[in-house]
Each structure stands twice: as structure tokens, then as C-alpha cells.
A = this chain, B = another copy of it.
Amino acid sequence: MTGPDEMRTYPVERLEEFSARVFRHFGVPEADARQAADVLAASDLRGIDSHGVARLHTYFDMLTLGRINPRPEIRIVRELPGTATVDGDNGLGLVVGPWANRVAMEKAEAVGSAWVGVCNTTHFGIAGYYPLQALGRGLIGWAMTNAGPLVAPLWSADRMLGTNPIAIAFPGGEEPPIVIDMATSAVAFGKVEIAMRQGRPIPEGWAVDADGRPTTEPRGLIEGGALLPLGGDREHGGHKGYCLAAMVDILSAVLSGADWGPFAPPFALRRDLPARGVGRGIGHSFGAMRIDGFLDPDEFKSRIDEWIRAFRAARPASGTSGLLIPGDPERQAEAVRRTSGIPLVPAVVEDLRDIARQTGIPFD
């Protein structure tokens, strides 16, 4: 018998195959379905449980309601040798994102560096997926995206910005790569939901209530409040987190012609749609750089190795096991999960079974 809180574990290949079949069910072309499933699987492998198959039901809902175009004609609408704007034709962000990221990489390969903005797109999975693709081509890659509003800028009471992540990665030589992938909010919305379910208060600096007052009560956030930007209050640098979220919003959405700030459509059925549109869809931004445009790539990689070793050799703070290199936790999760499989909580298993029932695609 399986208890209500017991995890079940699935081989990643099986989850990926299921995701791909679900996308194909809606007429998503074979290669696109595999691409989309690959992005979700990368998230599950790397331990970012919130962005893997746990989101499949939302993609399923959006496709069912016709809110995502399964067969988009993605195209470049404006470009220079080192720039482009891509219109994603309201396709899956899991397909549009990789397409636009390839444009950024190809342009960087041609002229040394490039930025690509994307409009008319939807949730693109983990931001970290994209710089990992760039690593595979020997490039430094960036990814950013805006998202439905959840964060109140410092001194505001309104949800004006998403959790707007920034990702970038750097290759090591003998050491594994440094992979940065971080939301610009103080904390993920999901952490507040967990605290609410457990009846626990949340730390100061995570959230404000509907009047913009600091709150330690999860309900204060859920019922019309907002997350705080990284830094939290003024004293701890909340204005800086707001600046970062604004930067991501402007590069991803204002510059590409997408819906920015509070007008970004949420990736969730239960959240209200924005009052009006100011563009098309959400927006992403991808950057890429050729390392040999700056330094001999072998020299760069050995400098990164040296950086990693110097940081690992730093004295641990009293009572801790010492610092981590960005990307360590995800790489460790991947090492375990590739062999042991992906643990899913019962609610996610139930979501996947629900999709199976509605589509006839076997699961479990």
C-alpha cells in the first residue's frame, strides 16, 4: 500500500516519453514534442521539481483550451548580425525557447556575441536549460524570461513583476561547469504554498500582504499579497532585486514586443488574465558569446578550474560544510536521478494519471 505522502520513482526516459506523447496528442510535430519533453526531463533530472513533469498538466490544460498553438510558425521578425527578435507564434515556450536560443548561438558563432529577444511565447521551462545548450557548443550562454506577475517592487502593494529568472553558464576544463540559474524574487511561490499547507509562518523578507505590509503569514501572500524581490526590504537590498527583475522584464518583454510587467499572462488556469494586453505573450531573452572572442578557450577553461578550486578551498563558515559552486546541487541531483529515477509526489502522479485518463496515453 502506498501512503498519501509517499514518493513514487520513475525512470526519466519513461516520463520523457509520456510527455512527448502528450504533446503529440495535441498535434505538436514529432521533433517539437521531443524537444519540449527534453526540457521538462532536464528539469526533473536536475532536481528542479517545480518545472518538470509537475507542470505537464498546465501545458495540457493550456493546449486543451487552445491557449497554446501546437504548430507555431516561429520566425525572425527583425535582425542584425548580432541580434534578432523572434515571434514564437504563441507556441510552446519549450519549443520556441530552444529555437530562439539556437538563433542566438548561431549568430554568436558568426560574429562573436549575440542577443535574441522573443515575443509571443509561453513558459519555457527552466532557464538553466538554455545556457547548458550553449555549453554543448562551447559557448557562454544566457537566458532570461518574464512571467506572470507575483512580485511587488519595493514600496508597492501590487504584483507588478514575475519571478523573472537569470541563467548563465561557464565551462570548466577538468572541473564541471559553473551553472547559474536563479529567480530574482526572494523565494519561489511554491515555498510559501508549502508553508501554508504545513501551517507554518514564513520568514520576514519573503512576502507582503495585499496592502504591501510585510507579512509572515502565508495566507497574506496567497490572498492578494505578493512575493518580495531578492533582498526583501529596503534595508536588505530589496531595491536591487527589483532592479534585476525589471532588467529581465525589459530585456525579455519590452524589447521584444511581448506583454511586460503586470500584463504578462500567467502560466496557470487559476490566476486571472491581465486586464489588457500591451504586447504579445510573455518574452524571453537569450545571449551567447564565443569564448575565443575574448581568450583562448583552453586557457579560459583552466582559469575556471582554478576559480572553482580556489572557491572550494575557502574556509567553511562556522557550523556549515562550506560553500557550493553554482550548479553543484543540480549536478548532484542529476547523478542520482539518472540511475535511481525521478521521485514524484502523489499529487504529481495523480496529475499524470489524470492526463492519461483524458488522452488514453498509458501511464503507470
Q: Mark A153-193, 1 if CB is under 8 A from B, else 0.
A: 11111101000001010100000001010111011000000
- Residue A72 interfacial (CB < 8 Å): no
- Residue A141 interfacial (CB < 8 Å): no
- Taking a contact as CB atoms under 8 Å apart, the answer to whether B317 and A235 are in contact is no
Measured in the bound complex, the distance between the Cα atoms of B283 and A295 in whole Å is 13
Whole-angstrom distance between the Cβ of A100 and the nearest chain B Cβ: 12
Which of A44-52, A74-82, A333-341, A346-354 has 4 or more CB atoms under 8 Å from chain B? Answer: A74-82
Secondary structure type dominating chain A contacts: mixed
- Residue A323 interfacial (CB < 8 Å): yes
Residues of B within 8 A of A211 (CB): 317-318
Whole-angstrom distance between the Cβ of A289 and the nearest chain B Cβ: 6
Indicate the member of A84, A117, A241, A289 with the most B CB atoms within 10 Å. Answer: A289
Oligomer copy total: 2
Residues of B within 8 A of A300 (CB): 254-255
CB contacts under 8 Å to B, within A208-261, are 208, 211-213, 230-232, 235-237, 239-244, 246-247, 249-250, 254-257, 260-261
Q: Who on chain B is nearest to A209 by CB?
A: B318
- Taking a contact as CB atoms under 8 Å apart, the answer to whether A80 and B316 are in contact is no
Residues of B within 8 A of A237 (CB): 182, 186-187, 230-231, 241
Q: Who on chain B is nearest to A299 by CB?
A: B257
Query: Known interface pairs A152-B317, A247-B168, A316-B212. Does A278 touch B294 (Cβ–Cβ under 8 Å)?
Result: no
- Taking a contact as CB atoms under 8 Å apart, the answer to whether A314 and B186 are in contact is no
- Residue A138 interfacial (CB < 8 Å): no
- Taking a contact as CB atoms under 8 Å apart, the answer to whether B319 and A213 are in contact is yes
Indicate the member of A166, A241, A294 with the most B CB atoms within 10 Å. Answer: A294
A-B CB contact pairs (8 Å), 18 listed: A78-B293, A80-B292, A80-B293, A82-B111, A84-B293, A85-B295, A115-B293, A140-B255, A155-B316, A155-B317, A157-B317, A160-B323, A203-B235, A205-B205, A237-B241, A239-B326, A250-B307, A278-B306
A-B contact sample (15 more), CB < 8 A, given A81-B81, A261-B307: A115-B289, A153-B314, A155-B323, A180-B243, A203-B235, A205-B236, A212-B315, A213-B317, A230-B240, A237-B241, A254-B307, A255-B300, A262-B314, A278-B306, A279-B303
